[in-house]
């Protein structure tokens, strides 16, 4: 039994806390007031499941996080589950057992990849998972009477969902998958599967026909092939004789080109030699005349250098004299007669020595300076003469270098080179043409090449390139014809060989695939009879489930004040029918009153919940059960719920949570608690009535 629920910033609820007791608790209020949020709060807190699109959608608008917390009792033990969600989508979950002194943590968080966590522990204690709780204990809006108003086929589908026939569907699909994978494996191994047996048998007959049809073609092609190969062999023998001549013709042309190329090289060498010798003659012309004057020039240079040295010596001596006179000039300027007396000894002197006269000294200095200028001019003249003689000596040295560079030591060698030039030019006049015979006289090598040319011309004398080309064309045509015959023969042989191999392969494959077909047939039979929702296993399961629901629903009806004593569910072909029995007769559903229909619907719901393995919570939530009910049926629903809430065994009283906006129908009824839901800007507000 759920004892309380606390919703904080969860959907429309900013801070809601509700207490519950056994029996019937009513949630009333307008649409959108947050009544159905209680269902999402319960399932989210217990299992982390809800009816919204995403976890983030559970957080109240404007809040960063929210949580749902419920407390419940099972077997006199009290538990608490709380789950939190933030705006990033992060979840946290904790499951406690509450004792008098403390809260003991049973599980926290989720580890779904390991099949562990809080939800797993909650499922163990509650006795079912979210899917089963939703079917057994939560009746969504408009679903209460749908169970008896539904078409028989729809009721059967609902029954299939309750007893887990969908698991058989899964098993059936898995079996089909196994069969498909087995076929694929066989196809990988053999290249075919059991569906190809007829095709393979047709192919087997076709390949046998191919072998029979290709036999005569093979014999005819073999005869034609032999005849054409003989003709080709004769032509190839002739070609083999003529082919070396082509090579010799090529060699003949090569030898001619070789002779001309060699002659050209020789002639070019002669021309280069003539050019080199002419350059020697040109470079060495007059060199010996220059060398003969070398001694005379060297003697003149020696004399000029002696004259330059003598002139420099005289210039230096004169410069020293000038310096000495300048010192005397300074002294003379100080030795002046005063009253005809010597300035040194004070004796009477009529006239000073000219060497102590200042004027005389100045005249001597000027004279010496003129001598220096004259000597400088003389030295410059000798320097120019020396330069001129040095240049002439250099010319003689250049002439010696030129002669050494050309390895000429005397005039006779130059005369010999001039004669050789004349001989070489005469030789050029002799061989400067394309006459091979004349060219062959150049040297022994040209003579040897020319002999080879004559031999090749003799050996290829009667050869015709046109006939040889025509012979090759004929051989190519014959080869193409032979190749076509070979291809045709290859095609026939390949077809026969392929047919033989295919016959062998197909024969083995057919034997294997017939075994596979028998095995798959057995698998299909298992899938059809055991796993099909209309097979014997599913039919047996439905029969057992229908009987169990009928017995349990009849037990619940026995507590209600109706004329219906028993409900019997039965399967007919593809439908499930509902039969109601009084003491004396079978009652049609259409003949039942509104209250009786509600009683039957609730009894069937409780019977189905029992079949699922009723939740240890002993909880049933009805969301808008009065929708589409008239006033009489609404009142009937209240009476039935009041009676059911009083039904209890000693251990587990039944708890009903009713969501509705028809609060007035519960007035003066046996209802433990009514909560009114109102919507405002702060969120849902809940008032206990």
- The verdict on pTM exceeding 0.85 is no
Across the range 418-434, mean pLDDT stands at 77
Largest CA distance in the chain: 205
Assess contact for 218 and 492: CB atoms under 8 A. yes
What's the DSSP call for residue 535? Answer: S
| Short-list 17, 20, 43, CA closest to 655 | 20
A 10 A CB-CB count for 479 gives 15
What confidence score (pLDDT) does residue 359 get?
81
Separation of alpha carbons 609 and 138, rounded Å: 10
What confidence score (pLDDT) does residue 243 get?
83
* Residue where the block lists tokens 């033990």: 77
Assess contact for 601 and 148: CB atoms under 8 A. yes
pLDDT category, 113, cuts 50, 70, 90? Answer: low
pLDDT category, 356, cuts 50, 70, 90? Answer: low
pLDDT category, 648, cuts 50, 70, 90? Answer: very low
Residues pairing with 19 in the sheet: 4
Name the average pLDDT for the chain. 83
Higher pLDDT: 381 or 670? It is 381
Higher pLDDT: 380 or 603? It is 380
Whether the predicted pLDDT of 649 surpasses 50 = no
What confidence score (pLDDT) does residue 613 get?
58
pLDDT category, 130, cuts 50, 70, 90? Answer: confident
What confidence score (pLDDT) does residue 337 get?
56
Handedness of CA 615, 619, 624, 625 (dihedral sign): positive
What confidence score (pLDDT) does residue 147 get?
67
Strands 655-660 and 23-29: parallel
What confidence score (pLDDT) does residue 655 get?
82
Separation of alpha carbons 427 and 642, rounded Å: 147
pLDDT category, 41, cuts 50, 70, 90? Answer: very high
Across the range 125-129, mean pLDDT stands at 83
What confidence score (pLDDT) does residue 650 get?
38
Across the range 536-543, mean pLDDT stands at 82
Higher pLDDT: 148 or 508? It is 508
Whether the predicted pLDDT of 575 surpasses 80 = no
Least confident of 97-101, 502-506, 530-534: 530-534
What confidence score (pLDDT) does residue 427 get?
75
In angstroms, the Cα distances linking 72 to 79, 116, 175, 233 are 5, 22, 42, 106
Separation of alpha carbons 25 and 484, rounded Å: 98
What confidence score (pLDDT) does residue 149 get?
67
Separation of alpha carbons 130 and 137, rounded Å: 10
User: For residue range 280-328, what is the model confidence (pLDDT) as tens digits?
Assistant: 888 888 888 888 888 888 888 889 888 889 999 998 999 998 888 888 8
Across the range 59-66, mean pLDDT stands at 90
Separation of alpha carbons 192 and 650, rounded Å: 67
End-to-end distance of the chain based on CA atoms, in angstroms?
21
The 3 state secondary structure assigned to 560-611 is: CCCCCCEEEEEEECCEEEEEEECCCCEECHHHCCHHHHHHHHHHHHHHHHHH
What percentage of the chain carries pLDDT values higher than 70? 88
User: For residue range 543-560, what is the model confidence (pLDDT) as tens digits?
Assistant: 888 888 888 888 878 777
Separation of alpha carbons 162 and 32, rounded Å: 30
Separation of alpha carbons 155 and 578, rounded Å: 9
**If you write DSSP's letter for every residue of 305-360 in order, what string do you get?**
HHHHHHHHHHHHHHHHHHHHHHHHHHHHHH---BTTB-TTT--B-SS--GGG-HHH
Separation of alpha carbons 402 and 460, rounded Å: 57
Higher pLDDT: 227 or 611? It is 227
What's the DSSP call for residue 91? Answer: E
Whether the predicted pLDDT of 65 surpasses 90 = yes
Across the range 566-594, mean pLDDT stands at 83
Least confident of 322-326, 505-509, 613-617: 613-617
What confidence score (pLDDT) does residue 67 get?
95
Separation of alpha carbons 617 and 620, rounded Å: 9
Whether the predicted pLDDT of 344 surpasses 60 = no
SS3 673: strand
What percentage of the chain carries pLDDT values higher than 90? 14
pLDDT category, 106, cuts 50, 70, 90? Answer: very high
Least confident of 60-64, 214-218, 343-347: 343-347
* Residue where the block lists tokens 């080109």: 257
pLDDT category, 85, cuts 50, 70, 90? Answer: very high
Whether the predicted pLDDT of 430 surpasses 70 = no
What's the DSSP call for residue 433? Answer: S
Give all strands of the β-sheet with 586-587 in edge-to-edge order.
566-572, 575-581, 586-587
Residues pairing with 580 in the sheet: 567, 587
Separation of alpha carbons 328 and 361, rounded Å: 7
Residues 6+ apart with CB under 8 A from 679: 12, 29, 30, 32, 33, 34, 685
In angstroms, the Cα distances linking 29 to 36, 620, 661 are 10, 20, 5
**If you write DSSP's letter for every residue of 214-242 in order, what string do you get?**
HHHHHHHHHHHHHHHHHHHHHHHHHHHHH
What confidence score (pLDDT) does residue 663 get?
73
Assess contact for 499 and 207: CB atoms under 8 A. yes
What confidence score (pLDDT) does residue 432 get?
59
| Short-list 39, 41, 55, CA closest to 8 | 41
């Amino acid at each position: 039994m759920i004892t309380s629920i606390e919703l904080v910033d969860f959907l429309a609820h900013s801070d809601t806390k509700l207490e519950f007791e056994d029996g019937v608790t009513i949630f009333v209020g307008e649409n959108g007031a947050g009544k159905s949020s209680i269902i999402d709060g319960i399932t989210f807190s217990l299992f982390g499941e809800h009816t919204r699109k995403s976890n983030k959608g559970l957080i109240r608008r404007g809040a960063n996080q929210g949580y749902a917390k419920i407390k419940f009792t099972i077997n006199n033990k009290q538990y608490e589950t709380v789950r939190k969600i933030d705006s990033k989508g992060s979840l946290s979950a904790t499951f406690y057992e509450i004792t008098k002194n403390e809260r003991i943590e049973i599980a926290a968080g989720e580890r779904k990849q390991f099949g562990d966590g809080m939800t797993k522990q909650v499922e163990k204690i509650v006795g079912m998972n979210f899917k089963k709780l939703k079917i057994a204990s939560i009746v969504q809006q408009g679903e209460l009477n749908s169970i008896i108003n539904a078409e028989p086929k729809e009721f059967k589908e609902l029954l299939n969902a309750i007893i887990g026939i969908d698991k058989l569907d899964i098993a059936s699909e898995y079996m089909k998958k196994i069969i498909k994978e087995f076929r694929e494996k066989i196809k990988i191994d053999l290249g075919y599967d059991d569906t190809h047996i007829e095709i393979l048998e047709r192919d087997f007959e076709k390949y046998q026909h191919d072998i029979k049809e290709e036999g005569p073609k093979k014999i005819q092609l073999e005869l034609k092939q032999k005849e054409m190969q003989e003709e080709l062999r004769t032509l190839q023998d002739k070609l083999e004789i003529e082919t070396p001549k082509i090579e010799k013709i090529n060699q003949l042309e090569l030898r001619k080109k070789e002779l001309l190329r060699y002659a050209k090289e020789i002639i070019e060498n002669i021309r280069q030699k003539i050019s080199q010798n002419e350059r020697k003659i040109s470079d060495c012309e007059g060199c010996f005349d220059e060398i003969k004057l070398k001694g005379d020039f060297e003697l003149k240079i020696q004399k000029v250098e002696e004259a330059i040295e003598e002139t420099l010596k005289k210039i230096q001596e004169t410069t020293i004299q000038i310096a000495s006179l300048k010192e005397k000039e300074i002294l003379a300027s100080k030795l002046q007669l005063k009253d005809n007396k010597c300035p040194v000894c004070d004796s009477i002197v009529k006239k000073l020595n000219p060497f102590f006269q200042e004027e005389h000294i100045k005249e001597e200095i000027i004279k010496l300076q003129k001598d220096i200028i004259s000597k400088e001019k003389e030295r410059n003249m000798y320097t120019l003469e020396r330069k001129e003689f040095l240049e002439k000596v250099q010319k003689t040295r250049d002439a010696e270098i030129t002669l050494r560079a050309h390895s000429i030591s005397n005039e006779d060698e130059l005369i010999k080179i001039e004669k050789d030039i004349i001989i070489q030019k005469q030789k050029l006049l002799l061989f400067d043409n394309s006459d091979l015979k004349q060219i062959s006289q150049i040297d022994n090598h040209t003579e040897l090449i020319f002999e080879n040319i004559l031999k090749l011309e003799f050996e290829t004398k009667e050869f015709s390139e046109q006939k040889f080309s025509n012979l090759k064309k004929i051989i190519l045509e014959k080869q193409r014809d032979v190749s076509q015959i070979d291809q045709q023969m290859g095609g026939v042989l390949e077809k026969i060989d392929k047919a033989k191999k295919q016959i062998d392969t197909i024969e083995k494959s057919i034997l294997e695939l017939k075994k596979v077909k028998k095995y798959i047939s057995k698998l299909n039979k298992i899938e059809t009879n055991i796993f099909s929702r209309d097979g014997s296993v599913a039919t047996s399961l439905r029969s057992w489930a229908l009987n169990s629901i009928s017995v349990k629903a009849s037990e619940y009806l026995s507590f209600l004040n109706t004329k219906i004593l028993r409900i019997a569910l039965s399967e007919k072909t593809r439908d499930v029918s509902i039969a109601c029995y009084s003491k004396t007769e079978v009652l049609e559903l259409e003949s039942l009153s509104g209250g009786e229909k509600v009683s039957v619907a609730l009894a069937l719901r409780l019977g189905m919940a029992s079949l699922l393995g009723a939740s240890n919570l002993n909880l049933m939530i009805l969301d808008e059960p009065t929708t589409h009910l008239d006033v009489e049926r609404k009142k009937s629903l209240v009476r039935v719920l009041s009676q059911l809430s009083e039904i209890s065994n000693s251990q587990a009283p039944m708890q009903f949570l009713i969501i509705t906006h028809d609060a007035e129908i519960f007035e003066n009824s046996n209802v433990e608690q009514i909560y009114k839901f109102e919507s405002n800007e702060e969120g849902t507000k809940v008032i206990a009535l």
